């Protein structure tokens, strides 16, 4: 009986503690320190998923002004051949194409968002047909006032075909 009496207040206390929303959703409040983050996963090993990569994009609130952010990409090549990961900016300019050897992983980080309409929308995706064999994640750190540029999330999974 004593255990039940101790357990009930503990459960009531835990139920009263607020917690954030689902991972990858940008609708929550910024983290302490005045920053916010988001992420997107992609799995190019599943032929039924049609996932080719991920994208992160932001602007400064309702002003549509550019907002600088840092993005991080990690990807593994689960295929038996070299695969290419492309990085494409908002203006359609390709910044890089990374060759990823079979059965290896690769990661990088970059700064973006400093110029509206140029680098405020970054897409990373597999070159070639689905399934590519590439699987990974893209995440980013944004200033607190950043708002989604594409859709309702700061980062999201991309489905084929490739841009």
Nearest in space to 40 (alpha carbons), one of 149, 145, 142, 155: 155
The count of other CB atoms within 10 Å of the CB of residue 136 is: 23
What CATH number does the domain containing 138 carry?
2.60.120.1540
Half-sphere exposure (CA, 13 Å, Cβ side) for 80?
Answer: 0
pLDDT category of residue 30 using cuts at 50, 70 and 90: low
Position 107 in a domain: yes
In this prediction, residue 63 carries a pLDDT of 82
Q: Is pLDDT above 80 for 31?
A: no
Tokens of 31: 């983290």
Rg, Å, the chain Cα set: 19
The pTM for the full model equals 0.79
Residue bearing the bigger pLDDT, 160 or 33: 160
Range of the domain at 99: 33-159
What is the per-residue pLDDT for 11?
36
User: What is the number of structural domains in the chain?
Assistant: 1
Instruction: Say yes or no to pLDDT of 26 above 80.
Output: no
Query: Mean pLDDT, the chain, as a whole number?
Result: 83
Q: Which DSSP symbol is given to 31?
A: B
3-state secondary structure of 8: helix
């Amino acid at each position: 009986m004593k255990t039940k009496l101790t357990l009930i207040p503990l459960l009531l206390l835990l139920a009263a503690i607020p917690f954030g929303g689902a991972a990858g959703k940008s609708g929550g409040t910024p983290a302490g320190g005045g920053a916010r983050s988001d992420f997107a996963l992609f799995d190019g090993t599943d032929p039924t998923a049609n996932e080719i990569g991920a994208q992160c994009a932001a602007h400064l609130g309702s002003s549509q002004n550019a907002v600088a952010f840092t993005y991080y990409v990690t990807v593994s090549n689960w295929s038996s051949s070299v695969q290419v990961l492309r990085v494409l900016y908002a203006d359609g300019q390709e910044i890089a194409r990374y060759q990823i050897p079979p059965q290896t992983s690769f990661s990088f980080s970059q700064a973006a968002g400093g110029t509206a309409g140029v680098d405020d929308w970054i897409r990373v995706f597999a070159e070639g047909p689905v399934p590519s064999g590439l699987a990974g994640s893209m995440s980013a750190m944004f200033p607190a006032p950043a708002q989604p540029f594409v859709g309702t999330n700061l980062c999201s999974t991309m489905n084929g075909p490739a841009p």
